[in-house]
Amino acid sequence: MRAANMTWEWLNDGNLRTETATLPAIRTEKRTGFKTFFNSMVAAYTGWVDSRNDPKRAVVCGDGSPVNGEVLEKTSLLMDQDAVAISWKKGDVLMIDNRLVLHSRRPFSGPRRILATISPE
């Protein structure tokens, strides 16, 4: 988290509060030159809702002001429209580069084994 310029704080209830550094929403991927929308605000605002996370309070602009939720909801709809579903078969392996594509957040049921690795480069 230090390398990503994030700050964090352990709360009295044992939860961890994190703050991501301000990042540009559109980036140019170094290896390919592709422009990509690299941002977790949509996922945080539309999907991270539970007893600890209220997106209307937890997802804010760099100056602490509220984000425009309508814009994030519309962005989420547009991302869903551009989504590609992969038909999985037994034994399939999928490798994705999160700098180029956003991995799915679709519901799934049944047995599966997920192995993941994160690389800074």
**CATH number of the domain that 8 lies in?**
3.60.130.10
The CA distance from 112 to 97, in Å, is 20
pLDDT the model gives residue 87 = 81
**pLDDT above 90 as % of the chain:** 6
Q: pLDDT, tens digit, for every residue of 43-101?
A: 788 877 777 778 777 788 878 888 888 998 898 898 888 888 888 788 888 777 777 77
pLDDT value at 119 more than 90: no
| Arithmetic mean of pLDDT, 98-119 | 72
pLDDT the model gives residue 32 = 87
For the chain, the domain total comes to 1
State how far Cα 92 lies from the chain centre: 24
CB 11 within 8 A of CB 17: yes
pLDDT the model gives residue 56 = 76
Range of the domain at 95: 1-121
Higher-scoring residue by pLDDT: 106, 1: 1
| Arithmetic mean of pLDDT, 12-23 | 84
CA separation (Å) from 49 to 14, 32, 54, 59? 18, 34, 6, 11
pLDDT value at 26 more than 80: yes
